[in-house]
Amino acid sequence: VHPTAERRDTVVLVDSDRTTYTEEHITAKFTYRGAQVTREGGDIKVTPTKEEFEFRTKRKVPKLGIMIIGLGGNNGSTFTATILANKNHVTWYTKEGIQVPDYVGSVLRASTVRLGTDPGTGKDFHLPVCDLLPMVHPNDITIGGWDISSLPLDEAMRRAEVLPYDLQRQLVPLMRGIKPLPSVYYPSFIAANQGERADNVIPGLSKRDHLDHLRKDIREFKVANNLDQVIVFWSANTERYSAIIPGVNDTKEALLASIDASHPEVSPSTLFGVAAVLEGVPYINGAPQNTFVPGLIQLAESRRAFIAGDDLKSGQTKMKSVLAEFLVNAGIKPLSIASYNHLGNNDGYNLSAEPQFKSKEISKSSVVDDMVAANHLLYKPAAQMAKESGDPKAKPEHPDHIIVIKYVPAVGDSKRALDEYYSRILMGGRSTISIMNECEDSLLATPLIMDLCLLAELLTRVQYRTTPEEEFMPLYSVLSLLSYMLKAPLVKPGTEVVNALSRQRSALEQFLKACLGLDNSGDLLLETRTW
């Protein structure tokens, strides 16, 4: 068994009076420290703040089902194949020899956190992220879902052309019996070229009937597989944006009324979101469109349901959220970022239509905004631009940022991403960094889908309170802690988006440690800097 797929019964026991263990829960007290900053004349006043939290995590992991919308797609079929290969210990021959299945690329299963120092050796102690708190093992996930294409999963895997032949050959008997449920198909939302796949569609035109049908599918899947928890994941084609129309989708009441009226602007992905929220199961959007219209966010808030999105941050954007942060934090000023992609899978085919490309372009373009806005020494803020240009509506200074995506069938799922970072360095000098990245898109996406679902499941078991008199509360509906895996993270309305990858990872690590009552000052390493 590959170490990333190993099953361990490790329990982290924190020896502190602030962390308590019962059979049912891990409860930890945590002091959340921050600072309030104000300008006072020419000075800056900083007031340290602190708030006491208590986090309570349910220890029993549920029997988990994941329902994928777009199950027969490249990601859906590769995800299913990966879980089944690991679960059934399927090994296969490659030209380099025998290959065992793994979960490489998963932050939870294949990366570690530094817990502290071993007093015996004085060395750092690192633990797999998935061993910090009780989490579902991916091999135990039950998979189901919907697709507008009726191909059973063995054939969908063959159509995807992602996995090597000798692995596919052995997975056929395990995948053959999995057939996607019929789905809702509203042709105006995805590219017209997808019509040829749509042979597995829920009949009728009433969106209310479709909603009821999807809700019943979720309930039946849960019962049939004897599951404690289900997560619904959108891995279907990228849709065009939905228009946000007052009275149609801007409030929860309006959205539900629009479903009753079969309003044309209610997209399939939003309808699935409503179904999941009404069934009380988490819903994650792995594609870029604005599934989470304000009415759906409101509905999730009112039901204390969990949602997360948007769009998987797998390759180019992940690099960008590292590189742009590195450059700007190094005091170097990117002047332009030009990103070019070509790919030949069905995702690329769908994105070759303008409205669907637009969704992807929007999702990819905001990724450097927070890093740029954080450095007013290199980039002029809006007020300064307005003053200099005389235009009160002037935007803050920003590097030129362009995104091109082209469909090239020959390269299949093996996406090519070329990026050029052109920056200003010392004394007006220039630096150009070019990156060329080529790999199977679905092999990057699969571990992200897994991490998103397993983390979302864990977060449904974490509750908090700020005073001992209060009842424990679930976390806020929008699970922004999942941002690390998402290209355009959805956050609590009115709060700032963090795109920088290291900050996203740090937030996740700190949160998981906080649930154990551990704070994260480890990188201070004061013992190495003092006498």
Catalytic residues, which ones? 311, 360, 415, 487
Which residue, 337 or 445, has its beta carbon nearer to ligand NAD? 445
Residue nearest to ligand NAD (CB): 73
Three-class DSSP category at 474:
strand
Minimum distance of ligand NAD from residue 312's CB (angstroms)? 4
* Interacting residues with ligand NAD between 420 and 479 (CB under 6 A): 441-442, 444-445
Which residue, 106 or 235, has its beta carbon nearer to ligand NAD? 235
End-to-end Cα separation, the chain, in angstroms: 45
Minimum distance of ligand NAD from residue 337's CB (angstroms)? 18
Find out whether 272 and 232 touch, Cβ atoms under 8 Å: yes
Q: How many CB atoms lie within 10 A of CB 273?
A: 29
Which residue, 19 or 350, has its beta carbon nearer to ligand NAD? 350
User: Applying CB under 6 A, does 237 fall inside the site for ligand NAD?
Assistant: yes
Helices 153-160 and 165-175 sit at what angle, rounded to 10 degrees? Answer: 160
Which residue, 189 or 464, has its beta carbon nearer to ligand NAD? 189
Token pair of 400 as six digits: 């030129």
**Binding residue (CB under 6 A) for ligand NAD from 19, 74, 242, 460:** 74
Find out whether 506 and 519 touch, Cβ atoms under 8 Å: no
Please name the residue ranges forming H helices in 311-468: 316-329, 346-351, 354-365, 369-373, 382-389, 441-460
Which residue, 488 or 515, has its beta carbon nearer to ligand NAD? 488
Beta-bridge mates of residue 401: 337
Which residue, 102 or 347, has its beta carbon nearer to ligand NAD? 347
Which residue, 149 or 483, has its beta carbon nearer to ligand NAD? 149
Q: Where does this chain touch ligand NAD (CB under 6 A) — which range of 91-99, 120-128, 178-186, 321-329?
A: 178-186
Find out whether 353 and 193 touch, Cβ atoms under 8 Å: yes
Q: Where does this chain touch ligand NAD (CB under 6 A) — which range of 29-37, 90-98, 143-151, 398-406?
A: 143-151
Find out whether 510 and 28 touch, Cβ atoms under 8 Å: no
Helices 74-87 and 441-460 sit at what angle, rounded to 10 degrees? Answer: 70
**Binding residue (CB under 6 A) for ligand NAD from 26, 28, 69, 514:** 69
Token pair of 351 as six digits: 């994105």
Q: Where does this chain touch ligand NAD (CB under 6 A) — which range of 142-150, 222-230, 465-473, 493-501?
A: 142-150
Distance in angstroms (rounded) separating the CA atoms of residues 439 and 443: 8
Encoded amino acid at 310, one letter: D
Q: Where does this chain touch ligand NAD (CB under 6 A) — which range of 58-66, 311-319, 476-484, 502-510?
A: 311-319
Q: How many CB atoms lie within 10 A of CB 424?
A: 15
Q: Where does this chain touch ligand NAD (CB under 6 A) — which range of 122-130, 235-243, 376-384, 390-398?
A: 235-243
User: Applying CB under 6 A, does 501 fall inside the site for ligand NAD?
Assistant: no
Find out whether 59 and 25 touch, Cβ atoms under 8 Å: yes
Distance in angstroms (rounded) separating the CA atoms of residues 497 and 480: 9
Minimum distance of ligand NAD from residue 194's CB (angstroms)? 6
Encoded amino acid at 415, one letter: K
**Binding residue (CB under 6 A) for ligand NAD from 73, 138, 447, 517:** 73
Find out whether 399 and 336 touch, Cβ atoms under 8 Å: yes
Residue numbers at the binding site for ligand NAD (CB under 6 A): 69-70, 72-76, 146-149, 183-185, 190, 197, 235-238, 268, 286-287, 311-312, 314, 345-347, 350, 441-442, 444-445
